[in-house]
Amino acid sequence: MPSPAPSRPLRVLHLEDSELDHELAATHLRRSGLDVEMRRIESEAELRAALREPWDAVLSDFNLPGFGGLQALEIVRSGAQPLPFILLSGEIGEDVAVQAMRHGASDYLLKHNLARLAPALENAIAAAQAERARRAADRELALSRQRLSELAQHLQTSIDSERAAIAREIHDDVGGSLVALKFDLAWIERRTTDPEVRQRVQSALETVSHAIESSKRIMHNLRPAILEQGLVAALQWMAARFEKRTGVACHFRSSHDELPELPAGVPLVAYRTAQEALTNVSKHAQATQVTIDLTLARGVLSLEVADNGVGLTREDLAKARSFGIRGLHERASTVGGTIDLSSDGRGTTLLLTLPLTAGASAPATLGGDDEHDPTSAWGEL
């Protein structure tokens, strides 16, 4: 469908060596009711110069002295905003016409049959407009996807730093106070002989110990301090704890007993990935066995979590209210990694791939907050 004609005249560039043929085409277009402003040119230099101005379409003869219609087509199509291009020739073979269309010509017409010229021109202009609009929409969509992904990554890293900050607060503030309280209670216990007071103090000490345990657990969930012992140790610990808690056999294998120092952010991404994968196994898989494989080879760190459960489908991953795996994709991209999921009906495999050389960077707070180890002060309690 041709779009409504613009209120200004259509500007049409006409590559034509015959003034008479040019006049014929122009008259035809005007008689068809089109308000056109046409300019005739006949050389490559003139074409290149004219293309610096705005045009709505190019009409071109096929045979021009020292210059050809297909060459002209190439020049027009290579512009930043390719214009609609119609071949208008005295004679044009089918093979040439096919070649021209393949190279992006909008249409081809014979000079002795100009009846189709006006509709062909309008159609070509409308198609070019639609194409421009589609490209603009595609660009907009790609940009908006990119912004969304950047926002998700930003939120992810903000959440992690926020968690680390809260863990630090609990450690310094709550932790410090609880330790002081424990010492004071112990002091009172030593000084009193009154059995009733001693009993109260004992009970208060138990409460404090319980509060210390809870704080440690909360801190660990906020910021896995076990990571400071290295990713291998942390995943080993996670696998053992998972097996104990769920009864699902969990086997951990690693290509290295200890990994070389990993870029900032990478251990936490791997740790949280394994954590979400195991949570999913316990929530959805009905598996009896899980294997965690950690491999470092040729500068690529891979973490694979494979279960022998019910498997998952494409629809499962498209659930509107499920964010675990979506979050893993965003997390992985904060350090240049990717997540792949596969399922063959006999279980699910989640694979995190992290090239360690390029793109692995994240806010330093996420990887090792070395100066501050929340476990250290608690260890002695």
Which residues of the shown chain bind Mg ion in the complex (CB under 5 A)? 280, 324
Of the residues 61, 307, 330, 369, which one makes contact with ligand ATP according to CB under 6 A = 307
- The smaller minimum CB distance to Mg ion, of residues 134 and 326, is found at 326
The string over 196-222, giving b where at least 16 C-beta atoms fall within 10 Å of a residue's C-beta and e elsewhere, is eeeeebeebbeebeebbeebbeebeeb
The alpha carbon of residue 324 and the mean position of all alpha carbons in its chain are separated, in whole angstroms, by 15
Confirm or reject binding of residue 63 to ligand ATP (CB under 6 A). no
Provide the strand spans (E) within 57-163: 57-60, 63-64, 67-68, 85-89, 107-110
Torsion of CA 114, 120, 124, 130, to 10 degrees: 160
Confirm or reject binding of residue 250 to ligand ATP (CB under 6 A). no
- The smaller minimum CB distance to ligand ATP, of residues 344 and 371, is found at 344
State the minimum distance, in angstroms, from the CB of residue 232 to Mg ion.
24
DSSP-assigned letters across all residues of 306-375: EE-SS---HHHHT-TT--HHHHHHHHHHHTT-EEEEEE-SS-EEEEEEEESSSS----HHHH--TT--HH
**What is the contact mask toward ligand ATP in residues 284 to 303, using x (rule: CB under 6 A)?**
xx------------------
Which one of the spans 81-89, 109-117, 316-324, 359-367 is the region binding ligand ATP (CB under 6 A)? 316-324
Strand (E) or helix (H) holding 160: helix 117-169
- The smaller minimum CB distance to ligand ATP, of residues 39 and 284, is found at 284
Confirm or reject binding of residue 322 to ligand ATP (CB under 6 A). yes
Sign of the dihedral defined by the CA atoms of residues 99, 104, 107, 109, in that order = negative
Partner touching 155 among Mg ion, ligand ATP, none, CB below 5 to 8 Å by kind: none
State the minimum distance, in angstroms, from the CB of residue 1 to ligand ATP.
43
Of the residues 175, 267, 309, 337, which one makes contact with ligand ATP according to CB under 6 A = 309
State the minimum distance, in angstroms, from the CB of residue 235 to ligand ATP.
17
Interacting residues with ligand ATP between 341 and 360 (CB under 6 A): 348
The residues pairing with 38 across neighbouring beta strands, listed in sequence order, are 12
The site for ligand ATP (CB under 6 A) is made up of 280-281, 283-285, 307, 309-312, 316-317, 319, 322-325, 348
